[in-house]
Amino acid sequence: MKKIHFMLTAFRDGFQSVYGARVFSKDYLPLVQACAEAGIDHFEAGGGAMFQSPFFYSNENAFDVMDQFRKAAGPTANLQTLARGINVVGLDSQSSDVIKLHAQLFKKHGMTTIRNFDALNDVQNLIYSGQCIRDAGLRHEVTVTMMELPPGCEGAHTPEFYMDVLKKILDADIPYDSVCFKDASGTSRPRKVYETIKAARKLLGNETRIVFHTHETAGTGTVSYISAIEAGADQVDLSMAPVSGGTCQSDIITLWHALRGTEYTLDIDINKIVALEEQFKDVMADYMLPPEATRVEPLIPFFPMPGGALTANTQMLRDNKLLDKYPEVIKAMGESVAKGGFGTSVTPVSQFYFQQAFNNVMFGPWKKIAEGYGKMVLGYFGKTPIPADSEVVKIAGQQLNLSPTTESPLAINDRNPHKGLTAASKMLEEAGLEKTDENLFIAATCQDKGILFLKGQAKIGVRKLSDEKAPPAPRVSDKKADAITVTLANKAYGVKFNGNMVVVNGITYNFQVKEGIDAEAVARTTILPKAKEMPGVSETHVVESPLPGLVLKIQKKPGDKVAVGETVVVIESMKMETPINSPYSGIIQEICIMQGDQIEAGSVLFRVNTLVHGSMNTVARAAEAGSRSVPQSPGKPEGTGVVSKIESPLPGLILRIYKEVGEKIAAGESILVMESMKMETPINSPVSGVIEGLMVKQGDQIESGQVLATVRQ
């Protein structure tokens, strides 16, 4: 009988597909050791979203997790990670020095093999990344990505297309140890899988290990695995309950059963696997299991969303209270695929498709081009399998102010001063952080959210049932409760306490309470005098967040001048950065948020005092007085300027704030940048004036409609 090898994906793709990779390593590492003791010796141990998620959601260092995984699995286990070609483990493409450091660090932290793919199947993106993997002493599993096109679409994604990609890999002399055919969306027809693997075996001969990867999302995963095995595949990827089936890989037990009575075997002790799965279910019992994670979705061929991205996106929609939009976004995704050049729906391209569909639903069809999607159709990530829709390319160029290109993305990135280890070093220096290789890589690939983690400002985003069912806190009297409603600036917040954790409107935070007021807290609440105290200044304007999210950056401080359209804050929401721009020109009066804050739509981000007459020198003197906390005089008449609220158009995370209270701002100038669905969105001021208020801070998670800032005209 022929032994079929398998890699256990439960601790990477399984977690990513079911929980959006939001898990604590301390919960599952003992099970890794149990699996190793049961005879499993090939694990998917990281990479993909399991590199970023520990920083973003679990408040853990992914490099520490890899070290602990190696310790649990033992010294001889094959620990494999997933890399996205020149993107490595980031959503954006990287420069040469970052790509090289990726391989070196993953080797340093105990990994054995890296599966390396390019979502566009552009072989040029695999050459340098593959060489770096081999040079670091790692095994290189070069990959061809697969999917089925939505019904009615034609072009690429045929067995002939995949063989052409494979031939280009061979012609490029890319060093490799095995070849994988990766169908992240699980949509490839089993017959096509058979024909593809059969042709690959003929081309590669009998000595090359051929691997096939799919998901059970469309309900055909196990059938496709059998097709691949019968065509000559040596290895498949399998998982274990509760992270198997549905959006995940087929279960070990399922394929074991399907192969009974055939000439193939997994060669396992099935009783040990059954026992492991029972233990695994107990370990994960407290984690919130999204209902969409483990069910078959028969319509997935119409919108080929990878299992590893589907629940990550629904989790983000839950974070931002937009889950009701999911059916509309998924319906719109088919058009994003059809007009985007048919890149394979696997990260990061799957995220580009979803982001563009999200924008088409939230803002109107093609009214707002997602940066990643736009750069893809313009050629900045490489060559798409077929040319993207010409009208979409035109719109993307206009909105992003970029021209189409056929230049190598690596060459573009290497001369980009905002990418690479030099730029990462500058980020660390500005944040006062140590410049270790690990920190440099975190800054380069995780950007502002990585810096938030390194500064100790990361938020916990892991969903556990116990967080929602927290036991009552000790009560001093019957009048006290563990659940309260707090109203700030006319915004209600539901608060539940659980030890040193607090759940605010469904989002979990660490908190501490101590006597006295820190200097940082004083600095945060320092404001300028009201507009009526400032000669030549009209009323104060409040700017609110248009969406929920995390405050990533604050680019202004009280007393700073701001112009209309100038960015004050950057929010991240749905993994997209959204700048919040001031709608007024004037002086930032108050910044109402801090970097790292989770905010809701309607949260006040900042306040702006606007001008009606007099010079900016007059306002500057008033700003200087404000910095000395001059008290407001109740006897002076109110200003006559109009205060405009700036609300968030979508939920998300505050990435950067460009303005501060009291700063002058011009119409169209950015106040802040938000991230939503892994896209950055600048929030610009619709009017000229002065920032009266900033209601969010960098790192805040905000909701759609939340007040970000106010501007006084």
pLDDT tens digits, 244-268: 999 999 999 999 999 999 999 999 9
User: What pLDDT is attached to residue 526?
Assistant: 43
Integer Cα distance of 376 and 347 in angstroms: 13
Integer Cα distance of 97 and 353 in angstroms: 28
Integer Cα distance of 628 and 710 in angstroms: 22
Ranges of beta strands (E only) in 615-698 are 643-647, 652-657, 662-665, 670-676, 679-684, 689-694
User: Two tokens at 23?
Assistant: 């898990």
Integer Cα distance of 416 and 656 in angstroms: 20
Integer Cα distance of 580 and 570 in angstroms: 6
Per-residue pLDDT band at 625 (split at 50, 70, 90): very low
pLDDT digits (tens, 9 = 90+) for 91-130: 789 999 999 999 999 999 999 999 999 999 999 999 999 9
The stretch 397-403 carries a mean pLDDT of: 96
| Residue 373 phi, psi dihedral angles, 5° rounding | -65, -45
User: Two tokens at 649?
Assistant: 């158009």
User: What pLDDT is attached to residue 596?
Assistant: 82
Which range, of 119-128, 319-328, 594-603, 624-633, averages the lowest pLDDT?
624-633
Per-residue pLDDT band at 512 (split at 50, 70, 90): low
The stretch 200-222 carries a mean pLDDT of: 97
Helices marked H in 54-154 — which ranges? 62-73, 96-108, 124-135
Helix axes 307-319, 349-363, angle to 10 degrees: 40
16 close to 312: Cβ distance less than 8 angstroms = yes
Above 60 in pLDDT, residue 193?
Answer: yes
The stretch 49-53 carries a mean pLDDT of: 94
Which range, of 19-33, 209-223, 362-376, 683-697, averages the lowest pLDDT?
683-697
DSSP for 145-168, written as a single string: E---PPTT--SS-SHHHHHHHHHH
Find, among 425, 379, 502, 549, the residue nearest to 97 by Cα. 425
Above 70 in pLDDT, residue 528?
Answer: no
DSSP for 179-217, written as a single string: EEEE-TTS-S-HHHHHHHHHHHHHHH-SSSEEEEE--ST
Above 80 in pLDDT, residue 562?
Answer: yes
In three-state form (DSSP H/G/I as H, E/B as E, the rest C), the secondary structure along 301-335 is HHCCCCHHHHHHHHHHHHHCCCHHHHHHHHHHHHH
Task: Give the burial string for 316-330 (b: 16+ CB within 10 Å, else e).
Answer: bbbbbbbeebbeebb
Q: Where are the domains of the chain?
A: 470-510, 524-712
For residue 242, say if its preceding peptide bond is cis, omega within 30 degrees of 0. yes
Find, among 503, 455, 463, the residue nearest to 483 by Cα. 503
CA distances from 660 to 563, 605, 706 (A): 11, 9, 18
pLDDT digits (tens, 9 = 90+) for 265-294: 999 999 999 999 999 999 999 999 888 777
Above 50 in pLDDT, residue 468?
Answer: yes
User: Two tokens at 39?
Assistant: 């005879």
Q: Parallel, antiparallel, or unpaired for β 689-694 and 604-611?
A: antiparallel
Per-residue pLDDT band at 515 (split at 50, 70, 90): low
70 close to 109: Cβ distance less than 8 angstroms = yes
Helices marked H in 418-567 — which ranges? 421-431, 437-454, 465-468, 519-525
The SS3 of residue 21 is coil
Find, among 97, 49, 22, the residue nearest to 678 by Cα. 49
Above 90 in pLDDT, residue 636?
Answer: no
Integer Cα distance of 566 and 300 in angstroms: 42
Above 80 in pLDDT, residue 626?
Answer: no
671 close to 582: Cβ distance less than 8 angstroms = yes
pLDDT digits (tens, 9 = 90+) for 668-677: 888 998 877 5
Integer Cα distance of 68 and 109 in angstroms: 9
CA distances from 352 to 313, 333, 370, 664, 672 (A): 12, 10, 7, 35, 22
User: What pLDDT is attached to residue 326?
Assistant: 83
Integer Cα distance of 94 and 671 in angstroms: 28
The SS3 of residue 349 is helix
Integer Cα distance of 113 and 102 in angstroms: 13
Which range, of 350-354, 511-515, 652-656, averages the lowest pLDDT?
511-515
Above 50 in pLDDT, residue 621?
Answer: no
| Residue 342 phi, psi dihedral angles, 5° rounding | 65, 30
**pTM of model > 0.95:** no
| Domain boundaries 524-712, CATH class | mainly beta
pLDDT mean across residues, the chain: 86
User: What pLDDT is attached to residue 614?
Assistant: 44
User: What pLDDT is attached to residue 679?
Assistant: 66
CA distances from 495 to 460, 498, 506, 599, 632 (A): 16, 10, 8, 14, 33
Above 70 in pLDDT, residue 678?
Answer: no
pLDDT digits (tens, 9 = 90+) for 132-186: 999 999 999 999 999 998 888 887 999 999 999 999 999 999 999 999 999 999 9
CA distances from 498 to 19, 466, 514 (A): 22, 9, 17
CA distances from 23 to 29, 295, 461 (A): 11, 20, 9
DSSP for 366-427, written as a single string: TTS--HHHHHHHHTBTB--SSPPPHHHHHHHHHHHT-----S-HHHHHHT-TTSSHHHHHHH
| Residue 566 phi, psi dihedral angles, 5° rounding | -80, 140
Q: Which amino acid is at 109?
A: H
Above 50 in pLDDT, residue 476?
Answer: no
111 close to 78: Cβ distance less than 8 angstroms = no
User: What pLDDT is attached to residue 109?
Assistant: 99
Which range, of 68-77, 326-335, 625-634, averages the lowest pLDDT?
625-634
User: Two tokens at 606?
Assistant: 């900042």
CB-based contacts of 713, cutoff 8 Å, min separation 6: 538, 539, 541, 584, 610, 641, 642, 643, 644, 687, 688, 689
Helix axes 96-108, 124-135, angle to 10 degrees: 40
pLDDT digits (tens, 9 = 90+) for 574-591: 667 788 999 888 899 899
**CA-CA-CA-CA torsion sign (270, 273, 277, 278):** positive
Per-residue pLDDT band at 66 (split at 50, 70, 90): very high
Q: How far apart are the first and last CA of the chain?
A: 80
Judged by phi (left if over 0) then psi (alpha if -120 to 50, else beta), residue 23 lies in beta
